[in-house]
Amino acid sequence: MGRRLVPLTLDNLQDLPQRCRSCVFWELDPVSADAAVRAGTTVMEKESWISAVLLDWGSCGRVAYVDDVPVGFVLYAPPAYVPRSTAFPTSPVSPDAVQLITSFIMPGYQGQGLGRTLVQAVAKDLLRRNFKAIEAFGDTRWKEPACLLPADHLRAVGFKTVRQHTRHPRLRLELRSTLSWKEDVELALDRLLGAVHKEPALRPL
C-alpha cells in the first residue's frame, strides 16, 4: 500500500470525516461552540479557524492517505489558538509546548501504525520549528469516538504523564529526546521495534 502524509489545508479539509469537519469543540470556547451548533455554522467556524491558524502560525495538521484514500488525520496548534485547552483540571499546556489537539484513524486502517506515524510527523514538523514538546489531554475512560485522545494510546506512542488526573491527565512528548537521531537511524529503529513489538495506533475519536 502506498502511504503519504499531506499538510492539512482548506483544499483537503473535505477529506476529514464529516463529523470532524463540523466539530468545533477545541476551536471555540464552550459558549461560542454552543452558539455555533445552534446556528448551524460549525462548518464555517471550522474553516475560519483552520484558515486563521494557517495564516498566522503555519501548518496545523496532517492528513494520511493510503493508495490516495484519506484514512486519518491529526490536528495540532499552540494552546493560544485552542480556547478549550483552558477548560481542563490539568490545564494549562506548558508554554514551551504545542498541543496535540486530536487524531483519528478510519476503521479498517487501525492497528497498522498510522497513529504513531502521524504523531512522528507532527514531532518532526515542530522540531524543525524549534518547539520543545507536544502536550495533549488524555481520556482515561475512553470508550467511543470523541474529541479527546485515549490516554493509554498517547502513552503507547511515547507520551508521558506530566500532570495526573483520574479522567483527564495532561501528557507530554519531549521532542529532542525522542527525535534527535537522523532519519536513517530512526527508520532502522522503527523497523526493529516494529518487528519486536508493534505499537497500537490511536483509536478513532
* Each residue's pLDDT tens digit, 8-22: 999 999 999 999 999
Contact 135, 100 (CB under 8 A): yes
Q: How far apart are CA 93 and CA 77, in angstroms?
A: 11
Q: How far apart are CA 180 and CA 73, in angstroms?
A: 24
pLDDT at 177: 66
Return the beta strands (E) in 57-197 as ranges. 61-66, 69-77, 97-105, 133-139, 149-150, 160-163, 170-174
Q: Is the per-residue pLDDT at 68 higher than 60? A: yes
Contact 76, 100 (CB under 8 A): yes
CB within 8 Å of 139: residues ≥ 6 apart: 146, 148, 149, 150, 151, 167, 168
DSSP SS3 for 63? strand
Query: Please, which pLDDT band fits residue 71 given cuts at 50, 70 and 90?
Result: very high
Query: Please, which pLDDT band fits residue 110 given cuts at 50, 70 and 90?
Result: confident
Q: How far apart are CA 158 and CA 174, in angstroms?
A: 9
One-letter amino acid of 110 = Q
How much is the mean pLDDT over the chain?
Answer: 88
pLDDT at 195: 44
Cell numbers at residue 205, please?
A: 475519536
Q: Residues of the chain with pLDDT > 90: what percent?
A: 75
